Each structure stands twice: as C-alpha cells, then as structure tokens.
Amino acid sequence: MSINVINEREYYRTIYGGWLGKNIGGTLGAPVEGKKELLNLDFYPLLPDGPLENDDLDLQLVWLHALEQYGPKLTSRELGQEWVEHIFFPFDEYGYAVTNLRRGLIAPVAGSYNNPFVDCMGAPIRSEIWAMVAPGAPHIAARYAYEDAIVDHAGGEGVYGEMFFAAIQSAIFVEKDRDELIRIGLTYIPETSRTAKALKDLLAWHAEGKDWLEARRLILRDHGSENFTDAPQNIAFTILGWLYGADFEDAVLKAVNCGYDTDCTAATLGAILGMIGGPEGLPDKWVRPVGDSVVVSPPIKGFPAPRNLEELTSRTIRMGKQVLAAWETGMIVHPDLETRIDVRNLESDEAVRELWDRDVTSDSRFLPRHSLEDQGIELRIQYGEQGPAIGHGQSKTIELTLHNHTQEQWEGILSLQLPAEWQGTPGQAFKLAPSQTGKFAFTMRATGKLEASHELIAIIERLHDNATWTKLKEPIYLVPMMEWSVLAPGSQVENVVYASGNLIEWGAGTGEEREGRYRARAWLINPTERNMRFNVASNVPIQAVLNREAIIESVEGDDFMPAYHRTHERQFAELTLPAGRHELEITAFKTNDRLQVYVLPVATNVTTDPGPHYYYTDMFIVKNPEAGS
C-alpha cells in the first residue's frame, strides 16, 4: 500500500478554517432560524461578542469526546450512550430519540421507532467532525456519518444528508473544485432519495441560467415542506448559496436569506468554505465578532468541552491520526513532509451503498459485548410489525437470529429471560457451523407491573461435552403501548386499539377513512405529582378533556407539529398533575385529511434537571385503570 501524506500544518489550517466557518454561519443564521420568508440580511442580525451557542457545533463536541472515550471504531451504540449522558435537547427528532434511548432501545431502532422527524436536519448539521478525522477518505467519513445519523434519523433523509456533507468535506482535503465535490457527494446517497432529487434539480436550474431567487422558488415548489427543518429543501439551500455565491460573504448570505433552517444552512456552507479557503480565506469583518471561543449550550454537559477553536482543532487532529491508522488508510499526518495524496477514486464504494438498504426496524449486536468486529456470534433482533412495543395483557412474537462468525461450531441453548409474571417460549437448542445462521421465534405475553420499558435478556448458553461452558447475555427492551377505547363516527361500539407509539392508531375496524367525530378514551396513570406540559398535536380540530374538564381546545385546526417543545400553542396545556389515575378523553374532528393525533406528556420548560421538555416515560395511558397494579 502506498503511503499518502497530509502536512500537519495544512491539516490544522483546513480544520481550523472549517470550525471557524461553522461558527460564523451558525452565528449568522441562529437569530432568524425558522423564518420561512425570503430574508434580506447583509450581516449578523445580532452583533455578537463571540459566537452564539448552536446545536450544529454542540453535538460535534460530544462526538469528539466519544472518539476520545471509545476510540476510532466506535459505532452508533456508543454514540447513543453519549446522547443519554451528555445531550438533553428536546428538539423534534432529538427528543424522540433520547426517549427511545432512555428506554433501552439502540440504533437504528432508537432512531426509526415512533419518530416523525427522521427526514429533518438534526443529522446533516453534524458532518464536519467525521470528515475532519477522515481526511481524504470520504468512504470512512460517510460510514461514521451513517452510524451517527441512525441514532435519531434511521430510515430518513437526515441520514442521507449527513452522508452527503461528510463525503464532500472529507474530499476537500484532496479536491477543491466545487462542482466535482458536489458530484462526489451525490455518489454517497441514493438517486431515489428526496435529497438527491432536490439537488439534481437545483444543479439543472443553475445550469439553465435561472437566478438564485427563481431557484429558491422552484426548490420550495417541488421539494418544499411546511416543517422548516425538513432536510431536502435546506440541503438544497446550502448548495444554492455555494453555486450562486461570488465569494464567502455572498454565498453564506444567499444561503441564509433563503430562510427556513437558517443556522444549519449557513453553518454547513460556512464550514465547507472555511475548509476550502482556510482561516485566511475568511473575511475579517465576519471573523472578528465570533473570535476563537467555543460556546456550548447549557443542555450539553458532563464532558470536557474544548475552550476555544485552537483546542478543538488540536484534539480533532489527534483523533484524526488515530482514525487514519485504525482504518488502514495508508495515510499519515506528518509535521514536516509536504502533502502528497494520490487518491484516484473518491466516489462511494459498495460497502457504503450497502448501508442505504439496511433494515432500520431491527438491530444487530456483536457478542461478546463490546466486540468491534464480526468475529464472534452476531445476535439480530427483529421486533415484528408493531416494533419494539407490547400492550399490557397482550402477546407478541419476536425473532432472534444467531449468526456464527467464528471458525468453530457453536452448540447450545438460546433462551429469552422474561420479566416476572410474563409467560413465553422456553429455550431452544441450536448447533451452528462456522458462517451458519439460525432463526428462532419467541412468543411472550405481558402481564404484571407497568414499566417505562420491559427488560428481556437473550441468553446464549454454550455447551461443551454436554455441560454448560459459558453464557452470553444481551438485554433487549420492549416499551409499553398506549391503549385507547375508540369510538368512530356513526358507531355505537367502542373498539380497543393499541398504539405502538404516541400516534393514536384509531384502528382498521373503526372506519378511520370516514369523516366526522372520533373519540379516544383512556386512563392516564401518573406515579407522582408533577408539573407537566400535555401536548395533543393534531392535523385536525381536537379537544382534550382531563378528569371531565377541557384542557385543550383547537376548534379551527392549527399547524400540525408533533414536537415536545413546539406543538401549537392551542394544542398543549401546562398543569400540575396529582399522582394517581386520571380520566382522559381526546376528541378529533376528521375532515378530508389522514387523521394524525400525537399525545405527548412531557416536562415543562423549567426543570431542575436534566433539561427542558423531556418525555415522562413513567406515565402510562391504558384502558383499564387497574392495569399493572
């Protein structure tokens, strides 16, 4: 293998320029985030004394810590642990993913299950760290981006957005031509994705000579979404600024003046241009207000964050050296030798493209625990149609698959240890030759106490000479379903439906296709008195009644936003809820739209710890007030 060299000073300059550009763009766009109209900024809307805090950079500081703590072969599982320990944002996909992770789910299921925001911008904004530790190796940067994005965007456009940007930014260390970088990035996402379609249309409109305002209009017409954080439109706005911008200032201003997720578009483009031009290529008028400092949002905590861009850059380089060695890239960082990189193909390879088709509704674990490579036993969990959820008193079947990656035969018993009072399938014998796979179905019935999540333990008991030699144990978690008694229009009979997530699943037998008045009744079980925000996010007019008192009235219908922190003001109520059982009734008035009602009990904005609007996993919605008692 030939050795490629990156001069350490040049490496430092590229990374520092990227982080500085990220701070500039984030500080420019943060004050106008969410404004959907065409903007007219020509400088920072709020002149800062240092950069503004921004999740675009915050999360990447955590990922740097993750690399330092777990090493360069870290996966989505370690990144998920970082979320639980250090990230307390309730925003959109972040809130749903953290709730899933707190309940024991792991990626990709933690990112795909019960998550209406998988197509959003939370992942594309955090690509730079992976590119910077994998310089000139976009196939590695994109793999890191995938492992990152599936924690909170699995199965959605957010994953493709992060892979696209990570590939571009990694390729910058080798290639500086804008059009070639965009072409390389597009090879890292499926042609059928909404993101790829939006970008290809944008490139065509630019080639046809349409101006940037017309290009913006067409992006919104053909690829737009009412949710300002939707990824395809914002990724297109980022590239629009790059295509139409005459220089750094003009480019980031055009991106941010498109509106929508402005801190994300400006910050990512600022990082790209900062990496290409280095810190000396950034105008002093934009650099001076942000300076060299790093500002961290209060909900990001519990780890040693870099104090300034110099420390951030040095620590990034330190991890980059380890990544290049661990992945056997044939590339070294040298303090004296000049950069010499002979990389003939920066496009995606088959291993990257394989990631696009992975099943995000199941998960896979290498055993023994903490294995980094597939050299032992692999356990795959397929949760079935309703995902990792089970209703109280209900039965469920999950499929466990064992694959033998070792070089010898494994013989033993696979069993599933269930919670107390549950009943289920007994252990099953297996005998697997090297490279052989075995599938095993386990059926169980959930009874007994209600829990925020139910722990099951897969036990692989290995036999030698007809006796137990060792046991491998791996926890698997199922979350409780919401249970509703539903009355459909024109019906006199209530049907019991189980919702695998927060969306009320009105049930195929309730006539959900009909227009009219729907009613869902249940008991809300609250273990302790608490201040709470009760969200009922809906795309139709709704009413919520708690203990026979109306607490929510959205009679005209309001903007549908099933987020913990930004449900429409007429679709949530804040109250102090005593401990105990509470009667709950949700009425929805269906028109010609698909009926969507999310019920989200969360904390208020003011909490003692750990952060605002986190989800109350120990509150239950059940049809029977005695359930689990």
Nearest to 166 by CA among 120, 127, 123: 127
Residues above pLDDT 90, as percent of the chain: 91
And the tokens for 407?
């070089």
For residues 226 and 331, membership in a common domain is answered with yes
pLDDT above 70: residue 508: no
- Of 31-40, 48-57, 115-124, 505-514, where does mean pLDDT reach its minimum? 505-514
Residue 151 falls within a domain, yes or no?
Answer: yes
State the Cα–Cα distance between residues 497 and 509, nearest whole angstrom: 9
3-state secondary structure of 492: coil
And the tokens for 601?
């009990």
Residue 337 falls within a domain, yes or no?
Answer: yes
Neighbours of 217 (CB within 10 A): 15
For residues 252 and 378, membership in a common domain is answered with no
State the Cα–Cα distance between residues 540 and 557, nearest whole angstrom: 5
For residues 313 and 395, membership in a common domain is answered with no
pLDDT above 90: residue 297: yes
State the Cα–Cα distance between residues 544 and 554, nearest whole angstrom: 9
pLDDT one-digit tens code per residue, 53-82? 999 999 999 999 999 999 999 999 999 999
State the Cα–Cα distance between residues 584 and 87, nearest whole angstrom: 32
Domain CATH code at residue 51: 1.10.4080.10
pLDDT above 70: residue 284: yes
* Mean predicted lDDT score pLDDT of the chain: 95
State which of 461, 479, 497 marks the end of a domain. 479
| Strand partners of residue 553 | 543
State which of 352, 380, 415 marks the end of a domain. 352
And the tokens for 598?
């999310």
- 591 confidence band (pLDDT: 50, 70, 90): confident
Residue 193 falls within a domain, yes or no?
Answer: yes
Q: What is the CA radius of gyration of the chain?
A: 26
For residues 26 and 151, membership in a common domain is answered with yes
- 370 confidence band (pLDDT: 50, 70, 90): confident
For residues 473 and 492, membership in a common domain is answered with no
State the Cα–Cα distance between residues 531 and 608, nearest whole angstrom: 11
For residues 71 and 200, membership in a common domain is answered with yes
Residue with tokens 């009874």: 447
- Of 45-49, 166-170, 267-271, where does mean pLDDT reach its minimum? 45-49
Domain CATH code at residue 474: 2.60.40.10
State which of 479, 514, 536 marks the end of a domain. 479
For residues 516 and 463, membership in a common domain is answered with no
Residue 184 falls within a domain, yes or no?
Answer: yes
For residues 574 and 606, membership in a common domain is answered with yes
Q: Do 5 and 341 contact (CB within 8 A), yes or no? A: yes
For residues 575 and 470, membership in a common domain is answered with no
Domain span at residue 458 reads 362-479
Residue 521 falls within a domain, yes or no?
Answer: yes
pLDDT of residue 558: 86
State the Cα–Cα distance between residues 262 and 271, nearest whole angstrom: 14
State the Cα–Cα distance between residues 381 and 109, nearest whole angstrom: 10
* Paired sense of beta strands 542-546 and 549-554, if any: antiparallel
Burial of residue 189 (number of CB atoms within 10 Å: 0-12, 13-18, 19+): buried
Q: Do 170 and 131 contact (CB within 8 A), yes or no? A: yes
- Of 100-109, 507-516, 586-595, where does mean pLDDT reach its minimum? 507-516
Residue with tokens 């370690």: 78
Q: Give yes or no for a cis peptide into 480 (omega within 30° of 0).
A: no
pLDDT one-digit tens code per residue, 411-456? 999 999 999 999 999 999 999 999 999 999 999 999 999 999 999 9
Residue 275 falls within a domain, yes or no?
Answer: yes
Domain count, the chain: 3
- 2 confidence band (pLDDT: 50, 70, 90): confident
Alpha carbons within 13 angstroms on the beta-carbon side of residue 373 total: 4
| pTM, two decimal places | 0.97
For residues 443 and 578, membership in a common domain is answered with no
Q: Give yes or no for a cis peptide into 335 (omega within 30° of 0).
A: no
pLDDT of residue 476: 98
Residue 357 falls within a domain, yes or no?
Answer: no
3-state secondary structure of 403: strand
pLDDT above 60: residue 509: no
Q: Give yes or no for a cis peptide into 368 (omega within 30° of 0).
A: yes
pLDDT one-digit tens code per residue, 373-389? 889 999 999 999 899 99
For residues 427 and 552, membership in a common domain is answered with no
Residue 629 falls within a domain, yes or no?
Answer: no
Residues above pLDDT 70, as percent of the chain: 99
Burial of residue 505 (number of CB atoms within 10 Å: 0-12, 13-18, 19+): buried
pLDDT of residue 510: 52
pLDDT of residue 629: 62
- Let me know how long the chain is: 629
Domain CATH code at residue 565: 2.60.120
For residues 447 and 339, membership in a common domain is answered with no
State the Cα–Cα distance between residues 457 and 475, nearest whole angstrom: 4
State the Cα–Cα distance between residues 269 and 280, nearest whole angstrom: 17
- 343 confidence band (pLDDT: 50, 70, 90): confident
State the Cα–Cα distance between residues 440 and 493, nearest whole angstrom: 39
